[in-house]
Amino acid sequence: MTTLGITNGVVLQPDLSVSKSDVLIDQSSGEIIDVDPEIGMSGDRQLDATDSLVIPGLINAHTHVAMTLLRGYADDKPLETWLREDIWPAEAELTAEDVRAGARLGMAEMIRSGTAGFADMYFHVPAIGDAVEAAGMRARLGHGIITVGKTDAEIESDVEEGIRVARKLGSERVSTALMPHSLTTVTETTLTTVIERAREMDVPVHSHVSETTAEVEPIIEERDVRPVEYARSCGHLQPEDFIAHAVHIDTEEIERLADTGTGVVHCPASNMKLASGMAPVQAMLDAGVTVGLGTDGVASNNDLDMFDEIRDAAMIGKLAAEDASALAAPDVVRMATQGSADCVGFESGRIESGAPADLAVLSLDAPHLTPAHDLVSHLAYAATGSDVRHTICDGQILMRERELLTIDEATAREEATKRAEELIARAEA
Ligand SMILES: N[C@@H](CCSC[C@H]1O[C@@H](n2cnc3c(=O)[nH]cnc32)[C@H](O)[C@@H]1O)C(=O)O
Ligand SMILES: [Zn+2]
């Protein structure tokens, strides 16, 4: 056993109180051994947290990480137009090596902003899995299954790919799910089949649900039920499942999501940028829905900094509820840690003995974090990703004093830049 002590800082506890404490980690098992002010220098190694706040490594519960290659490529359009006119044609040209490079760049950005774990829906998933193993992050990965615009043979091979990927992946840090893209881009037959397979394989189902009104109306017209009920009738919405967005849902649907224990991943920046709408997040929290937080893909955000997302969630949550007390600081901080962990099915998100050692250490030594009346308020409203000093996942240090240890940042940026340029040249040829 090799132990690492994170010393001399203040720690965000699972009840969101903050107290002066050290954290002792077993680097061999990747677990937190103890959280105690008396640990001092007793670890085999130390990581300094003087003038710093130790928080659970943030969890980005819904993204498409390789979309970093499309950052800034197509902005200022609504979802359907944006996907059909710009994103899908460019994605059609993506190779496995492009996706690997995009994932590596995205993980560099996430680690630099204190994110230790994420859930990802994309394609060429084995390349993402390799990149995650190398970068040392925690991830739940799945192949996005889509039927719209595909022949029966293409649909069959897409479903097979989803299942193959989910069977193949699986390690200490990399887990899987079956990921039918959305209720309107996947036919009922395929959706039902995929969900049945997920139950047989004992993996969660993750999909996009009711992101825009354009996804709600066709379901009501065709089936005379709202999307959440339709999803449930297809076998979706088990407690281990998690859905992204849930912007356009009514009170009954909120009750249903609370009853089924399905996680909802709120993506406020993407919802604002694509003008998709304001999710009723405070109503979901009041009803007892498990709510996590995600950036969605970079092309609709346009970054992977979860501190932005936390603040956006608080701001839009107040507007949506027309109530300044809605989505209070502890609510949004909880969403990015415990809420996301509960959605995605990670044991992390809490600093306590026995939990995975996924942590971020933020420097408080900055004008924008002074004075320190309330550090949870600072996490929600004032901190940014660049305040993160160290990021740790599974007991391993991924960034120390802002230096990435598992990704060569210059190479990652260079390769992503070159591949992104070539990708766009192919797509526009
Ligand atoms: N496009 C793949 C499978 C889907 S992967 C997940 C997809 O979600 C897309 N995506 C990104 N952001 C959003 C969003 O906000 N809503 C819906 N889809 C999105 C993303 O571009 C990607 O194509 C295929 O044709 O086989
Ligand atoms: Zn998405």
CATH number of the domain enclosing 356: 2.30.40.10
Same-domain pairing of 27 and 99: no
Q: Is this structure's pTM higher than 0.90?
A: yes
State if residue 123 touches ligand 1 by the CB under 6 angstroms criterion.
yes
Give the pLDDT score at 109: 98
Binding annotation for Zn(2+): 62, 64, 208, 296
Same-domain pairing of 381 and 328: no
Q: How big is the CA angle at 331 (ends 352 and 204), to the nearest 5 degrees?
A: 70
Of the candidates 344, 364, 388, which is a domain's last residue?
344
State if residue 120 touches ligand 1 by the CB under 6 angstroms criterion.
no
Of ligand 1's listed atoms, the one at least distance from the Cα of 145 is: 3
Of the candidates 309, 327, 344, which is a domain's last residue?
344
Weakly modelled stretches of the chain, pLDDT under 50: none
Same-domain pairing of 206 and 113: yes
Same-domain pairing of 287 and 261: yes
Give the pLDDT score at 382: 98
Q: Residues with Cβ < 8 Å from 226, sequence gap 6 or more?
A: 216, 219, 220, 249, 250, 252, 253
State if residue 64 touches ligand 1 by the CB under 6 angstroms criterion.
yes
Of the candidates 295, 326, 344, which is a domain's last residue?
344
State if residue 124 touches ligand 1 by the CB under 6 angstroms criterion.
no
Same-domain pairing of 235 and 299: yes
Same-domain pairing of 243 and 282: yes
How much distance in Å is there from the Cα of 208 to the middle of ligand 2? 6
Same-domain pairing of 184 and 71: yes
Give the pLDDT score at 61: 99
Query: Does some domain include residue 416?
Result: no
Same-domain pairing of 43 and 76: no
Half-sphere exposure of 215 (CA within 13 A, CB side): 26
Q: How far apart are CA 33 and CA 36, in angstroms?
A: 10
Give the pLDDT score at 226: 98
Binding annotation for substrate: 91, 181, 211, 296
The answer to whether residues 203 and 178 touch, using CB atoms and an 8 Å cutoff, is yes
The first and second tokens of residue 199, run together, are 């139950």
Residue closest by Cα to atom 3 of ligand 1: 144
Give the pLDDT score at 386: 98
Q: How far apart are CA 368 and CA 329, in angstroms?
A: 17
- Give the tens place of pLDDT for each residue, 35-68: 999 999 999 999 999 999 999 999 999 999 999 9
Q: Which one of 62, 63, 64 would you pick to mutate in the ligand 1 pocket, going by the greatest count of ligand atoms within 8 A of its CB? A: 64
Same-domain pairing of 287 and 370: no
The range of the structural domain enclosing residue 206 comes to 58-344
Give the pLDDT score at 427: 95
- Residues with CB in 5 Å of ion ligand 2: 296
How much distance in Å is there from the Cα of 355 to the middle of ligand 2? 28
Q: Is 130 helix (H, G, I), strand (E, B) or coil?
A: helix
Binding annotation: 62, 64, 91, 181, 208, 211, 296
Q: Is 121 helix (H, G, I), strand (E, B) or coil?
A: strand
Q: Which one of 60, 63, 91, 158 would you pick to mutate in the ligand 1 pocket, going by the greatest count of ligand atoms within 8 A of its CB? A: 91
Q: Is 361 helix (H, G, I), strand (E, B) or coil?
A: strand
How much distance in Å is there from the Cα of 340 to the middle of ligand 2? 15
Q: What phi and psi values does residue 53 have, to the nearest 5 degrees?
A: -110, 125
Instruction: Please count the structural domains in the chain.
Output: 2
State if residue 212 touches ligand 1 by the CB under 6 angstroms criterion.
no
State if residue 394 touches ligand 1 by the CB under 6 angstroms criterion.
no
> DSSP label at 11?
E
Q: How far apart are CA 65 and CA 415, in angstroms?
A: 15
Give the pLDDT score at 250: 98
Same-domain pairing of 108 and 232: yes
Of ligand 1's listed atoms, the one at least distance from the Cα of 88 is: 23
State if residue 296 touches ligand 1 by the CB under 6 angstroms criterion.
yes
How much distance in Å is there from the Cα of 401 to the middle of ligand 2? 32
Q: Is 49 helix (H, G, I), strand (E, B) or coil?
A: coil
Q: Which one of 65, 95, 122, 179 would you pick to mutate in the ligand 1 pocket, going by the greatest count of ligand atoms within 8 A of its CB? A: 122
Query: Does some domain include residue 26?
Result: yes
Give the pLDDT score at 351: 98
Q: Residues with Cβ < 8 Å from 194, sequence gap 6 or more?
A: 145, 159, 162, 178, 180, 186, 205
State if residue 122 touches ligand 1 by the CB under 6 angstroms criterion.
yes
Q: What is the CATH number of the domain that holds 313?
A: 3.20.20.140
Same-domain pairing of 337 and 358: no
Q: How far apart are CA 5 and CA 34, in angstroms?
A: 9
Same-domain pairing of 290 and 162: yes
